[in-house]
Each structure stands twice: as structure tokens, then as C-alpha cells.
A and B are shown apart, each in its own frame.
Chain A
Amino acid sequence: MNKQIFTSEIVARVWKLARFLIIVGLSFILLYPILYMISMSFRSADQVADPSVIWIPKTYTLSNFIDAVKYLDYNASFHTSMTVSLSSSILSLISCSLAGYGLARFKFRGKEIWFTFVILTLIVPAQAVTIPMYLQYQNFSIPIISPILNILFGVNMPSWLTVNLIDTWFVFWLPAMFGCGIRAGLYIFIFRQFFRSIPHELEEAAQVDGAGYFKTFYRIMIPNAGSAYLTVFIFSLVWYWNDTFYSNVFISRKMTMAKALSGLSSAIQAGIGVDEYRSSPIKLAGCLLFIAPLMIMYLFLQNYFVESVERTGIVG
């Protein structure tokens, strides 16, 4: 008996050590690029290639960050990116959670087909739909009807029924509102899986109390799916923040941070010419400035993440 307890303690100790090594090792791999960026972005040009500087620069300089802020037009592009990412993510969150709940909890004819369509949206290749989408936004009118009239009969919609949505935020808001934003199919899928695993008893209790379907949804389901909401919100934010594909095509005149970052090399080159010793730390400082808002937001939301999970544990 004693021996058994002894061996199980050894197993536990060994596992703890192995876990520690795995966590430390993998964390290091993941942190390495960040540490490298931090180390480089505080160096002045003469220390960039100095072999005697290994991680910690001899002197610190903030000039790289100041330059990066200038070349990224940080104040303006930060504001633009934040506005579009936050607004589109919230719209996505609403539409996708509604759809996910509908798929998870109700029986109606054609449900399986609609779920298939949700997955289908993930598979649709962006290359196939980019040009039709552009043309649709450029002459935005009554969907389905206007292209049919145009292709089959050569009839164009009257101009008072047509708006040009290119270079407006509606090219992000409209799809997000209708559950078709960037990777929205994945979010609907995530919500469906999460709502399906919440016990039925909770809803039944609410419905016995006379709550309607929508009241049950926002009073019972939303608080219990907190972790799903946060996960989706974070993903959505990251992907809207990082997007260059759609913003290059549909809002080519507006400057988002992702676009500013992708043009950073040439902006620096136009500013100071070709000088790797000076431009390299500025670029890495720019990268840090780019991911900093996301990392801060994640750290901030993560506290709620843990909290909400603990709360659902008590409720469920």
C-alpha cells in the first residue's frame, strides 16, 4: 500500500518536471521572435550588427519607435484599424452566435443543408469570389436580381437604386452583419458546438418560467457560453486586424495598420534610403507596435475568460 503511494508520487513528480520542461521549451520557441524584435528595436544603428551585443543592447534608444510611428502614420492607422476591427467583430459575434444557436438547438426543415452551407463558406476560395464581389460592391443594388437582369438581358439597374460601396466601411460591415464576415463560418461552427454542449435543463427551466426563445437566448445561453464568445471575439479581432487581402481590394484608399505595415519597407526606403542598419530595427519596432494592441487586448480579456469559465462551472 505504502509502496503504491510512493510510486504514484514519483510518477507525479516526473510528470511535473516533464511538463515544466515542455512548457518552458515551447514558450521559448514562441517567445524567441518577440524577444528578438524587442532586443533589436531598442538598438541604435551601430549596435545592430555588433557581435558583442547578444541580447541586451549597451544603450537604449527610442528613436526606432519614433520613426516607426512616423512611417506607419500610427495615430491615424491605429484608429482606423481599431474602428473597423472592433465594429466588424462585434457585428460578427452577434450574427454568428444567433446562427450557431439556431443550428444547435432548433429543429426545422433544411437545417442540415444550412449547416453544410456554413461549412461551405469556409471552403469557398477567395480568388473565385473577389472579382464578382468587387463588382457587386461597386454597383451595389438588389442582390441576385440585378446580376440576373444584367447577364441574361443586358439590363442595368437604375442609378437611384445603385450605390458604390467601394472605399466605405460597409464592405466589412454588411457581410459581418449577415454572418458572412472574415472566417464567419468558423465562428458559427464554434458557437454551434458550444451551444450544443450546454445542458438542456437550463433552457427548459427558463421556458417553464415563461421566457420566449430570444429571452432564453440572451438571458441563459449567452452568459453560459462566455468562453465561446471570448474565443470568437479574439479570433475575429485578430483576423480583421491582420487583414490585407480584403482591405487592399475593397478599401484601397483607406489606410489600415496592416496595410501600413506591409508598406513599411518602402516607406522607410523613401524616407532614409537603403540602409539596413537603420531600417531593420525600425521595421521590427513597427512589428511590435502592430501586434502590441492585440497582445494587450488578449491579456486583458484573458482574465474575463478564466472568470467566465469559473462562473459557468458554478451555474452548470
Chain B
Amino acid sequence: MSKKPREATEIRRRARAGKLFMLPFMIGFVCFYVQPLLLSLYYTFVNVQPKSGGGLSFGEGENFIDRLNLSNYEYLFGRETDFWQALLDTFKNMAITAPVIIVFSLFIALILNQKFRGRIIVRAIFFMPVVVTSGLVMSFITGDAFADQTQTTETNAIFEAAGMADILQGMNLPEKIIDIFMSITSRIFDTLWLCGVQILLFLAALQGVSPQLYEAAKIEGATGWEIFWKVTFPSVTPIILVNLIYTIIDEITDSSNGLMNTINGTGFGSFQYSRACLMAWIFFVILLALVGIIFLIASKTIFYQTDN
């Protein structure tokens, strides 16, 4: 009799504690996302232009109704073609590269998670893409005037495995093995530089898998292949979801793709802020739908070790 109300207060207390843990983010979300997003939505309906004396003008008129201006909508949903083409291309590219990146980085993380000599050093090396690609260093190296000295093809050799063949030959390996090895390395080359964050996340997830699970599986007589699909893979599915979402977003918002160039050019190049805001909103809504679908699928398939 007395147990029920106590349970109810316990549930309420837990709910309150949960909200309290979330409170900083809730405040931040309203201040740093909801407000600017709504403002930028507002900008799509008026004509934002730089003022001659500095600052911005939000159109003529005292209030919102007077300033209302739908020319950007008419333009983007009517005459404009470049933006839509760039949008389509960017999403198409993402659909091809994202699955490759996920599979490849899981594979690499599995290798790096094994015990071998010098793995501390190797892991440090695999941290390189995170440092190099997320910054300016990449542009310095690719843009270096003397980097093409080692060039063997018409592409820039600095980021290719050109020097690799020399080393393998130096090791006195048969020509055929070198050829096969080289063709593989050059193809995975581009992918590798995009996998830094994903590999690190997978690695952290793999290290979180409890050793008891592996021991239990081994005692049951499971093979390596079975252990992967029954123990390892289910344990990393939560991080697969993180990585998939991250990869998709990273690919689409990569500042070097056509879509971002179009939006940046429109907004900060030719100062058509309202139009750029509308473009950003269009791709925001599409990306939102895509991520929503992925979550819907994931919620049915992902395995959490400790779910009740």
C-alpha cells in the first residue's frame, strides 16, 4: 500500500534530476540555436543588405509586414539551377563515400585494437588525419610549390603513396606483390584521410567492450568470425550510428564542396545574405529529413548492452 506512492515520487525525482543534468544544454540550445535560426528564417523573408556606412539593413519599413519580401523564394524555387545542381551532387557524393568510410574505419579500428608491438606509436600516427584535415595544414602542403618534385603522375604526389613502391622494392619483395599492394593503397588513400575521427571513435568503443564478454565467447568455443558478429559488432553499433551521422554531416558541410561554395559565395561573396540564408535553410531541412530517417531505422536495430 505504502510502496506505490514512494515509487511514484522516486520516478518524479529521477525525472527532475534528468532534466537538471540537461538544463545547461536546454538553455544553450534556446539561446544559441533557436534564436539565431529563427532570426535567419526571418532574414529569408526580408531583404538583408549591407548598409553603406557599415552594419546591416533589414529592408524598408517600420515593422515586419512592411518589410516582407518574397523575391528570394521566387528566385530559388523558380529561376535558380546552380544551387539545386550543387545540392544534388553533394548528396550523391555523400551517399557513395559515407558507407565506404564507415566500413573502412571500423576495419582499421579493429586492427589497431589488436595487440601488437608499437601500437602506441601507430595510434598516434592514425591521429594525424584529425589534426591535418580539420585545419589549414592540408592546404599548405597541397599548395606547396616544391611538393610536386616527387610527382610521378599529373596528380599531386604528396598525398599519394608514390614513395611507398620504392620502399617495398627496397625490401626485395616480388614485383607482383608490390603492384597489388600499390593498387589497393592508392584507392584507399583518399578515404583514409577522411576517417580520422571515425577510427578514433570506433577505437574508443572497442576498448569499452568488456573483456568478460570475449572470454565467455571463447569458453563457448566461438570462432573469431562468430565473436566479431555476436560480440564486437553489436557492442559498437551505438558508435556506428554516431559515426554515420557524423560522416554524413561532415561530408555535406565540408567547406570545399560545391554546395558550401555556392552558399558562401552568395552570402559573403556577393552579400546576398537573405538568399544565402534561404539556401542554408533548404539544405538544413533536407539534411534533417535524412538524419531523421536514419534514426528511425537505427532505433529499430541498434543494440544497447544495458537497455532494460
Contact = CB atoms under 8 A, between A and B. Distances in A.
B238 interface: yes
A119 interface: yes
A102 B21 contact: yes
B134 interface: yes
Interface residues of B, number: 111
Interface stretch (B35-43, B74-82, B89-97): B35-43
A124 B163 CA distance: 41
B306 to A, nearest CB: 5
A103 B22 contact: yes
Interface in A248-305: 258, 261-262, 276, 280, 283-284, 286-287, 290-291, 294-295, 298-299, 302-303
B63 interface: yes
B280 A36 contact: no
Contacts of B147: 36
B185 interface: yes
A156 B73 CA distance: 29
A28 B128 contact: no
B103 interface: no
B135 A258 contact: yes
Contacts of B40: 128-129, 131-132
A30 B291 contact: no
Given A19-B111, A128-B40, A290-B135, A30 B192 contact: yes
A98 B120 contact: no
A95 B181 contact: no
B284 A197 contact: no
Contact of A123 (B17, B189, B249): B249
Interface string A5-30: 00000000000000111110111111
A178 B26 CA distance: 8
Given A40-B146, A106-B18, A136-B35, A238 B239 contact: no
Contact of A29 (B14, B130, B189): B189
B222 interface: no
A196 interface: yes
A108 B239 CA distance: 24
A118 to B, nearest CB: 7
Contacts of B15: 106-109
Contact of A121 (B18, B22, B29, B307): B29
A6 to B, nearest CB: 17
A197 B137 contact: no
A22 B189 CA distance: 12
Interface stretch (A56-64, A82-90, A143-151, A157-165): A143-151
Interface in B169-190: 181, 185, 188-189
A131 B273 contact: yes
Q: What are the nearest 3 A-B pairs in CB distance?
A: A106-B18, A178-B28, A102-B21
Interface of A: 19-23, 25-34, 36-37, 40, 48-49, 51, 95-96, 98-99, 101-103, 105-109, 111, 114, 116-129, 131-133, 135-136, 143-144, 147, 151-154, 174-175, 177-180, 186, 188-190, 193-194, 196-200, 213-214, 217, 227-228, 231, 234-235, 238-239, 241-242, 244, 258, 261-262, 276, 280, 283-284, 286-287, 290-291, 294-295, 298-299, 302-303, 306, 309, 312-313, 316
Given A30-B192, A107-B18, A114-B25, 7 more contacts: A30-B128, A106-B17, A108-B18, A128-B284, A143-B30, A144-B34, A189-B245
